[in-house]
Structure 1
Amino acid sequence: MRILITNDDGITAPGLKAAEDIALAIAGPEGEVWTVAPESEQSAVSHCISYTKPMRVTQLGPRRFAVDGSPADCVIMALGHLMERAKPDLILSGVNRGFNVAEDISYSGTVAGAREGALQRIRSIALSQAYAVGMDEGDLFEAARRAGPGVVRKVLDMPWDPLRGYGIFYNVNFPPCSGDKVKGVRAARQGRRPDNAFRAQEEVAPNGRAYYWLAHGRGNELCEDDTDARLGTDGWVTVTPLRADVTAHDAIDDVARVLDAPAEIAEA
């Protein structure tokens, strides 16, 4: 199997090495693993592409490249240039440092890397590792490294329809615990936190000027029971099927009824 890896934390991120370990286990001794990742961190760039500026590509080793662009750029560069003559069988985007659940999915460059793969009709999986206080003392990605190959193999057995419309891609999140504490793997729908995903946090510089950071919100534990955010917080690996199609299909009939209704005659 030929596997392409990208991420949004950058080419030097430790989570990328975890993804490479997972990919090597899946590809096997006869397979190939390619890495095409941003040269610097691109967290929360969503599906940004470098449409109005050129990009630079630097080869760092055999089948290993850094791109001064977004995760979606990296996938486009790989499929349209670097791997044009031998497309990958699978794209892994990650392993991201931190959850990509609930509203995070809209902002995530990691998820966008997998989404771009699905748009280009390649089987694609986003991988993210949640973390908690104290996990930095050891291998933050130990749960992903340990459970990842088995989970990816399971996902490869799930439904794929890359040639029909907007094909499915998968979002996998590993819980904030060591590998031996993982409870198992669960299918999960995208959650919704009760509060906003981000907030503005003020910091005052030594010169008295105010600056603002966007700080991540909290509330995974308050999401509904069968959602990615809640199950991950409770120790489960979650697998969520996604599509790039953002049509509100449940509202189409209501929209059509309004549009098809006779127009009211304006009063004189």
Structure 2
Amino acid sequence: MERLKRVLVTNDDGIDAPGLKIAEAIAARIADEVVTIAPLGDQSGVGQGISMHNPLRLTRYAEHRYAVTGTPADCVMYAMAEFFADTPPDLVLSGVNWGANLSDSVMYSGTVGAVLAANHLGLDAIALSQAFTQRSALDFSATEAFAVAAIEDLWATRSAHGCCWNINFPMLAVEAISGMRFTRQVGGAIRAPHLIEGADGRGLAYHWLTFERDTTNVTAADADVVALRDGYISAMPLRGTRCDEAVLERVSVGGERRLTPAGQHAGEARSTQAK
């Protein structure tokens, strides 16, 4: 892999997140210039959302290092409008998220949301996430050891497959990781939404939204969850559209159907059309 000219780094955990520094170090190993534009605070779970009702404010932390009061997708959009309008980055790296973005969680992930936002703008982008077994025990060893090799592998095939990927690293010792497996998103890990009830200082009720999760019932051999369980890095290709192409083919692409207006019987509709 030839050295890239410029990489844009963002995340969803915020400008002060330890994983962001890991992503910046990874980017510096593959590019001459690294520019970081990350959310000012934690934006986990916002998906590909953008700020429509609040202004965006930029804070400069250091040379080529900024925070934006918005979502990860906002950060990508802001970067392209303000800094890269004429010279887009070669690659956007999002992460390193502390916690895996697998299965049902992919659609909610702000880390992945930044990658999809970049893809909509025609940019190559990769999400990096580190699974954990204990939230307080930070350990990015697997990501630090394999991220550059994974990026180089995917970059080499971008002309054939594009470069829009969701990569998850298992929480294992480096020597215990078997390699990288290409996977798909398989649902079933989120069993149900769950509300945690509380009360504020005035006694008014509020709720925290969370999920009941169980990944043990995800068993498909090509699932991203199973890859990590088997000791592999998961590499899942992403797409920026929501259109279900398989269903579209079944109903006939470009096919048309006549519909009867509400309150009118089908026979009356045909009679009206005949006149």
- State the TM bucket, normalised to the shorter chain: 0.7 to 0.9
Per-residue Cα deviation, 1:151-209 (whole angstroms, up to 9, x for no partner): 111111123479xxxx6511100112232322211000111115436422334679876
Task: Check whether the contact 2:170–2:233 (CA below 8 A) recurs between aligned residues.
Answer: yes
Matched AA of 1:32: E
Q: CA deviation at 1:60?
A: 0.8
Which of these residues, 17, 21, 24, is aligned with residue 20 of structure 1? 24
Question: How far, CA to CA, are the matches of 2:201 and 2:259 in structure 1?
Answer: 62
Q: Please report the TM-score for the alignment, with normalisation by the length of structure 1.
A: 0.86
Instruction: Give the gaps of 5 or more residues in structure 1.
Output: none
* Distance change in 2, residues 1:197/1:117 (3 Å): farther
Specify whether residues 93 and 197 from structure 1 end up closer, same or farther in structure 2 by C-alpha distance, changes over 3 A only.
farther
Pair 1:180-2:175 in alignment: yes
Mapped partners of 2:224, 2:152: distance in 1: 20
2:65 is the counterpart of 1:68? no
- Preserved contact between residue 75 and residue 116 of structure 1 (Cα < 8 Å): yes
The residue aligned with 1:11 is 15
The Cα shift of 1:45 comes to 0.6
CA distance in 2, matches of 1:236, 1:198: 29
Structural mapping, 1:67-146, within 5 Å: 67-133=68-134, 136-137=136-137, 139-146=138-145
Question: Where does residue 214 of structure 2 map in the other structure?
Answer: 219
Change (3 A) 1:253 1:186: closer
Shift of 1:19: 0.5
2:24 alignment partner, SS class? helix
Please give the per-residue CA displacement for 1:41-95, whole angstroms capped at 9, x wherever unaligned. Answer: 1001111112333211111111001100110110111111123343210100001
TM-score calculated relative to the size of structure 2: 0.84
In the aligned structure 2, how far is the partner of 1:177 from the partner of 1:198? 29
What secondary structure, in the 3-state scheme, does the structure 2 residue paired with 1:105 have?
Answer: helix
Structure 1 residues 119-152: Cα deviation after superposition (integer angstroms, max 9, x where no partner): 111110011111003x734x42121111111111
- Identical-pair percentage: 35
Q: Look up the equivalent residue of 1:145 and give its one-letter code.
A: E
- Indicate if the aligned counterparts of 2:104 and 2:189 stay in contact, CA closer than 8 A: no
Check conservation: 1:15, 1:94, Cα contact below 8 A: yes
- CA distance 1:194–1:128, change in 2 (3 Å): closer
Instruction: Report the equivalent of 2:44.
Output: 43
Q: 1:235 to 1:203 in 2, by over 3 A?
A: farther
**152-161 vs 231-240, greater mean Cα deviation:** 152-161
Aligned CA distance change for structure 1 residues 234 and 199 (closer, same or farther; 3 Å) = farther
- Equivalent residues of 1:114, 1:126 under 8 A apart: yes
Q: Which residue of 2 aligns with 1:149?
A: 148
CA RMSD in angstroms comes to 2.6
Rate the CA distance shift 1:194–1:76 in 2: closer, same or farther, 3 A.
closer
In structure 2, C-alpha distance between the alignment counterparts of 1:233 and 1:215, rounded to whole Å:
23
Does the C-alpha gap of structure 1 residues 217 and 182 become closer, same or farther in structure 2, counting only changes over 3 Å?
A: farther
Q: Give 1:246's aligned residue.
A: 242
In 2: Cα distance, 1:128 partner to 1:56 partner? 27
Q: Quick one: distance in 2 between partners of 1:225 and 1:10?
A: 34
Output the CA distance in 2 between the equivalents of 1:261 and 1:87: 43
- Asked whether the equivalents of residues 131 and 176 of structure 1 are also in contact (C-alpha less than 8 Å), the reply is yes
Q: Match for 1:146: what amino acid?
A: A
What number of residue pairs does the alignment pair up?
259
Q: Which has the larger radius of gyration?
A: 2
Instruction: Name the CA distance, whole Å, in 1 between partners of 2:200 and 2:82.
Output: 45
Checking the alignment, whether the CA contact within 8 Å between 1:11 and 1:40 is kept in structure 2 is yes
Q: What is the correspondence of 1:159-178 to structure 2 with a 5 Å cutoff?
A: 159-160=158-159, 169-178=164-173
